[in-house]
Amino acid sequence: MAVYEIKFRDSKELAASLNAIGADVRSLPFFDNRREIRALYLSCIDVRAANVIKQEMLSRGGDAAVHAHAVDCSVQKSDVIIFGTVKQISFLADKLEIMSWWGFPGIVKSLRRALDSFSRKTSKVSLPSGNDLMLGDRTLLMSIINLSDDSFHKESRTYGNIGTAVARALEHAENGADILDLGAESTRPGASRISEAEEIRRMIPAIKEIRKNLPLMPISVDTTRKKVAEAALKAGADIINDISGLSFEPEIAEAAARFGAMLAIMHMRGTPQTMMSMCGYSNLLKEINEFFDEKIKIASSLGVESSKMILDPGIGFAKDHNQNLFLLRHIESLRIHSKPILVGASRKGSIGRATDSKDPSERLAGTLAVSSLCAWSGVDIIRVHDTKENKKAVMMAEAIRDADYA
Domains, in order of start, for the chain: 38-118 (3.30.1370), 125-401 (3.20.20.20)
What pLDDT is recorded for position 159? Answer: 67
SS3 16: helix
SS3 381: strand
Phi and psi at residue 224, to the nearest 5°: -115, 5
Which member of 383, 388, 392, 401 is catalytic? Answer: 383
What pLDDT is recorded for position 34? Answer: 85
What pLDDT is recorded for position 158? Answer: 74
Angle (CA) 345 337 83, round 5°: 95
Angle (deg, nearest 10), helices 104-118 and 86-96 = 150
Q: Is 109 a catalytic residue?
A: no
Q: Is 348 a catalytic residue?
A: yes
Phi and psi at residue 149, to the nearest 5°: -105, 20
Question: Residue 94: how many CB atoms within 10 A of its CB?
Answer: 12
SS3 content of the chain, % helix, strand, coil (to 5): 45, 15, 40
In whole angstroms, what is the distance from residue 92 CA to residue 94 CA? 5
Please classify residue 276 by burial: count the beta carbons closer than 10 Å to its beta carbon, then call 0-12 exposed, 13-18 middle and 19+ buried.
middle
Evaluated on CA atoms 79, 81, 86, 90, the torsion sign reads: negative
Question: Residue 219: how many CB atoms within 10 A of its CB?
Answer: 27
Phi and psi at residue 250, to the nearest 5°: -55, -25
| Spatial CB neighbours of 247, under 8 Å, sequence gap ≥ 6 | 268
What pLDDT is recorded for position 229? Answer: 98
Which member of 347, 348, 363, 391 is catalytic? Answer: 348
> From first to last of its 406 residues, what are the pLDDT tens digits of the chain?
878 788 888 888 888 888 888 998 888 888 888 888 999 999 999 999 999 999 999 999 999 999 999 999 999 999 999 999 999 999 999 999 999 999 999 999 999 999 999 988 899 999 999 999 999 999 999 999 999 876 666 676 676 789 999 999 999 999 999 999 999 887 778 777 889 999 999 999 999 999 999 999 999 999 999 999 999 999 999 999 999 999 999 999 999 999 999 999 999 999 988 999 999 999 999 999 999 999 999 999 999 999 999 999 999 999 999 999 999 999 999 999 999 999 999 999 999 999 999 999 999 999 999 999 999 999 999 999 999 999 999 999 999 998 886 6
Q: What Å distances lie between residue 153 and 162, 250, 343, 352, 385, CA to CA?
A: 19, 29, 17, 12, 9
